[in-house]
């Protein structure tokens, strides 16, 4: 009987504390920054044995922005496992003859490795190093001359390389780089401007890095002495080699650079291989090209297999650095794993299957158009995010998922919690994934309460008129309250 009353006392205490947090959240949401806006939030203990810590519109469909990556990375981690590596194969159509001449072609078979030719992920290599590795493998095979062409096989993917609902203003910029079965250098390049110390003057382009053959860029950018940020936007669709740049960059004495999306990453990859072969002294008679029909590799000679870093390291970049391209590539990898073409639609079908199979979402809880959250038209409920976070705590891969999320002092996730906690050691009790696009501020993740028990939470604000950081501070304050849950 004593144990019964003790349990009842603990339950009542938890209920009263939850009531207090609910009241606190309700009060914080009375801030004028949310006038005319929508807000939804939910926090639960991940063991599922207690009532919600608080709930406000938990089943309202809202735009998640980059918190959507929590779903994509969860599905990828559960599908492939943390140690999975993506592969890119290099083939020669024939053996070289006695003189070392390849009477045929080379094929780089795109396998959908997001990280190929990038050092963004631990263990990655630069695009120059990758091209050199391929060229050296060709040379080791005894090839001294190639009479044919060098093909990028992009047949693994089909359909649009950018999700259909992405805004035109974003297309052409590095954060909306096109997905490709043969990614290279994160599918981006840098545009450098000449030094311009005067305000409201034209900013002229000095060079690009790397150089992109046949690329033409028109700059309509001007300098802005009052703004220290990059407000220049590149306009150019996939496979379009004429780009325009509008907006402003800061005045400067040393030059300024921005990042843009490669028009055709796969073509650039085989152009890089073409150059690397010549540097190895291998003559190439043909040209760099792409092919969308799957070649017959049955009788070809595999020259080299390049492996990506492990998936556990890739999802760190997706979540901590909120890198859109890698999220979009993982979405398409879900389709490839299911034996389908790597399209946006096929990837979304597999993501929905993952959510429904594990009872994380019903058919009316989500409307999803991409894997990264870049589209303003994406919608899901706070409960879907919290369900996914809670589900992953039971996964054998949970530690990798948890470690992929940012701490409040992590500079990679847009400093969403930049004024967060003191004392500093409490920072380790919080892991978050932020999401920010026009009119949207969201954050989801985990906190450990005063007794060390994990709580999953999601806080989502939509249709914000103000661009200041007031809503971020409100979200911080709610997270701080969650940290105190369970304290006497």
Report residue 191 as tokens.
């545009």
Query: Position of tokens 């999306």?
Result: 261
Residue pLDDT, tens place only, 362-378:
999 999 999 999 999 99
Residue pLDDT, tens place only, 422-444:
555 567 789 999 999 999 999 99
Mean pLDDT of 83-103: 97
Report residue 427 as tokens.
């920072």
Report residue 321 as tokens.
């650095």
CA distance 354 to 7: 37
CA distance 350 to 334: 6
Q: CA 114, 117, 121 angle in degrees (round to 5)?
A: 60
CA distance 474 to 476: 5
pLDDT at 18: 55
CA distance 350 to 304: 30
Mean pLDDT of 6-32: 71
Confidence band for 16, pLDDT divided at 50, 70 and 90: very low
Residue pLDDT, tens place only, 246-280:
999 999 888 899 999 999 999 999 999 999 999 99
Confidence band for 5, pLDDT divided at 50, 70 and 90: very low
H helix runs in 29-183, sequence order: 69-80, 127-140
- Could you give the residue range(s) of every CATH 3.40.710.10 domain in the chain? 15-82+313-483
Residue pLDDT, tens place only, 201-246:
999 999 999 999 999 999 999 999 998 888 999 999 999 999 999 9
Report residue 98 as tokens.
């006695």
pLDDT at 408: 79
Q: What is the DSSP string of 247-297?
A: EEEE-BSS-EEEEEE-S-HHHHHHHHHHHHHHHTT-EE-S-EEEE-SPP--
- Could you give the residue range(s) of every CATH 3.50.80.20 domain in the chain? 87-307
Q: In DSSP terms, which residues pair with 277 in a beta bridge?
A: none
CA distance 304 to 408: 42
Q: Assess whether the previous peptide bond of 206 is cis (omega < 30° from 0).
A: no
pLDDT at 407: 87
pLDDT at 417: 66
15-82+313-483 placed in CATH 3.40.710.10:
yes
pLDDT at 19: 62
Is the pLDDT at 331 greater than 80? The verdict is yes
The answer to whether 475 and 44 have CB atoms below 8 angstroms apart is no
pLDDT at 469: 86
The answer to whether 378 and 435 have CB atoms below 8 angstroms apart is no
The answer to whether 37 and 461 have CB atoms below 8 angstroms apart is yes
Which architecture does CATH list for 87-307?
A: 3-Layer(bba) Sandwich (3.50)
Q: Quick check: pTM over 0.85?
A: yes
Report residue 75 as tokens.
């599905």
Query: Position of tokens 């849950």?
Result: 485
pLDDT at 263: 97
Report residue 66 as tokens.
């980059």
CA distance 184 to 114: 8
pLDDT, mean over the chain: 93
Sheet of 216-224, strands arranged across? 216-224, 242-250, 231-235
Query: Position of tokens 């359909």?
Result: 159
Q: In DSSP terms, which residues pair with 188 in a beta bridge?
A: 261
At 441, which helix (H) or strand (E)?
strand 440-448
Worst-scoring range by mean pLDDT, 112-121, 136-145, 278-287, 463-472? 463-472
The answer to whether 106 and 90 have CB atoms below 8 angstroms apart is yes
Q: Is 21 left (phi over 0), alpha (psi -120 to 50) or beta?
A: alpha
Is the pLDDT at 24 greater than 60? The verdict is yes
């Amino acid at each position: 009987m004593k144990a019964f009353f003790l349990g009842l006392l603990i339950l009542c205490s938890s209920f009263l504390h939850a009531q207090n947090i609910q009241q606190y959240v309700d009060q914080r949401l009375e801030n004028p920054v949310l006038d005319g806006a929508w807000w939804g939030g939910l926090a639960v203990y991940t063991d599922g044995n207690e009532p919600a810590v608080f709930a406000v519109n938990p089943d309202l469909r809202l735009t998640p922005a980059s918190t959507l990556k929590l779903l994509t990375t969860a599905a990828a981690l559960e599908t492939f496992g943390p140690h999975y590596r993506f592969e890119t194969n290099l083939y020669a159509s024939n053996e070289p003859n006695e003189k070392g001449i390849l009477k045929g072609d080379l094929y780089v078979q795109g396998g959908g490795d997001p990280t190929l030719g990038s050092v963004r992920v631990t263990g990655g290599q630069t695009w120059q190093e990758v091209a050199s590795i391929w060229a050296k493998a060709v040379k080791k095979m005894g090839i001294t001359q190639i009479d044919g062409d060098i093909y990028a096989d992009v047949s693994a993917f089909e359909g649009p390389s950018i999700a259909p609902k992405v805004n035109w203003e974003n297309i052409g910029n590095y954060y909306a780089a096109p997905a490709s079965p043969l990614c290279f250098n994160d599918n981006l390049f840098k545009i450098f401007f000449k030094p311009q110390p005067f305000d409201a003057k034209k900013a002229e382009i000095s060079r690009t890095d790397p150089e992109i053959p046949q690329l033409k860029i028109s700059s309509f950018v001007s300098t802005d002495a009052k703004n220290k940020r990059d407000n220049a936007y590149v306009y150019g669709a996939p496979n379009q080699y004429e780009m325009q740049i509008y907006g402003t960059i800061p005045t400067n004495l040393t030059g300024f650079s921005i990042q843009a999306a490669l028009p055709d990453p796969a073509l650039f990859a085989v152009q890089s291989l073409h150059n690397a072969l010549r540097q190895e002294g291998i003559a190439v008679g043909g040209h760099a090209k792409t092919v969308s029909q799957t070649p017959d590799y049955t009788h070809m000679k595999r020259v080299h297999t390049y492996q990506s870093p492990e998936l556990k390291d890739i999802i760190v970049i997706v979540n901590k650095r909120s890198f859109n391209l890698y999220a979009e590539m993982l979405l398409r990898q879900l389709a490839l794993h299911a034996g389908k073409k790597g399209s946006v639609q096929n990837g979304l079908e597999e993501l929905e299957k993952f959510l429904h199979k594990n009872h994380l979402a019903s058919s009316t809880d989500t409307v999803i158009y991409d894997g990264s959250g870049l589209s303003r038209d994406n919608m899901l409920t706070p409960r879907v995010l919290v369900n996914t976070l809670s589900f992953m705590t039971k996964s054998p891969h949970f530690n990798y998922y948890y470690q992929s999320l940012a701490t409040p002092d992590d500079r990679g996730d847009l400093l969403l919690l930049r004024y967060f906690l003191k004392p500093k050691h409490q920072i380790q009790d919080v892991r978050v994934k932020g999401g920010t696009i026009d009119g949207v501020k969201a954050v989801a993740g985990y906190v450990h309460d005063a007794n060390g028990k994990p709580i999953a939470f999601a806080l989502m604000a939509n249709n914000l008129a103000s661009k200041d950081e007031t809503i971020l501070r409100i979200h911080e304050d709610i997270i701080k309250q969650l940290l105190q849950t369970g304290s006497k």
